[in-house]
Amino acid sequence: MDSVPSPEPATALVAPPRSEPRAEAGPESGPGTVRYLPSTGQTLMKLVVTGPFGVGKTTLIRTLSEIPTLHTEEVMTSSSVGHDDLRGLPEKSTTTVAVDFGRLTVPGDLVLYLFGTPGQERFFPLWQDIARGALGALVMADTRRLADSFPVMDMVEEQGLPYAVAVNRFPGAPAYADDVLRRHLDLAPETPLVQCDARNRRDSIGTLIALAEYVLTRLPQDAP
């Protein structure tokens, strides 16, 4: 199997240098580095954090996660054909892509898992698989290249997942008022838009709250 570069490298512009390498608990890690679930009676939920390459998905997950961010190498089968660069291996039909995730325990016996999913359309089958059963999606955007988030929003809409847009305010990137951003992103009036610094915990929690509030508005008033 081949390995394509992570869709969200550690060199994402917003990420300050870290003294420790990412994915500390790799295959070689012993049980000593494993952060177990505190109890088995919790309700586990997931959100997907998506957006174009380098927009700060992993940064946001790292900011929120109580464990060092982990990643899995997810196997892509059919739709990866044509993207591989392994000459001389014509029968190769799988490739792997790294998916970062983190965990956030929320008061009330809830645990939120945040999956950083690649926004590229060629990863759509993987995206769908990860997004199945998710509460919703955070679509991240960068004011210097807002249009890069369009195909991601299309993917999320196709999946039927409620989403909020989190504009990551990169240092030095032009700042715009919310209504300007909404117009440029062509957002539906009800779609939440939050401006944040993905390195900031309060900002990042704010994006989750905006998304959860929106998910609530989309659920039927009278629970069965």
34 burial (CB, 10 Å; 0-12 / 13-18 / 19+) is exposed
Residue 60 interacts with other proteins (CB under 8 A): yes or no = no
Q: Considering the complex, what minimum distance in angstroms separates the CB of residue 131 from other proteins?
A: 11
* Cα distance between residue 112 and residue 162, in whole Å: 16
* Cα distance between residue 114 and residue 62, in whole Å: 10
Residue 215 interacts with other proteins (CB under 8 A): yes or no = yes
Between CA 139 and CA 14, with CA 102 as vertex, the angle to 5 degrees is 55
Q: Considering the complex, what minimum distance in angstroms separates the CB of residue 177 from other proteins?
A: 24
- Applying the rule CB under 8 A, the residues between 76 and 95 that interact with other proteins are 83-86
Tokens of 77: 């089968």
- Applying the rule CB under 8 A, the residues between 7 and 46 that interact with other proteins are 7, 9-11, 21-23, 25-27, 29, 31, 34, 36-37, 39-46
Q: How far is CA 83 from the centre of its chain?
A: 22
Which CB atom, from 26 or from 175, has the smaller least distance to other proteins?
26
Residue 131 interacts with other proteins (CB under 8 A): yes or no = no
Q: Considering the complex, what minimum distance in angstroms separates the CB of residue 21 from other proteins?
A: 7
Which CB atom, from 135 or from 193, has the smaller least distance to other proteins?
135
Q: Considering the complex, what minimum distance in angstroms separates the CB of residue 141 from other proteins?
A: 13
Q: Considering the complex, what minimum distance in angstroms separates the CB of residue 22 from other proteins?
A: 7
* Cα distance between residue 4 and residue 55, in whole Å: 18
- Counting Cα atoms < 13 Å in the Cβ hemisphere of 15 gives 21
Tokens of 89: 């291996």
Q: How many residues bind other proteins (CB under 8 A)?
A: 75
Q: State the binding string over 143-182 for other proteins (x if CB under 8 A, else -).
A: -xx--x----------------------------------
Residue 98 interacts with other proteins (CB under 8 A): yes or no = yes
* Cα distance between residue 31 and residue 97, in whole Å: 25
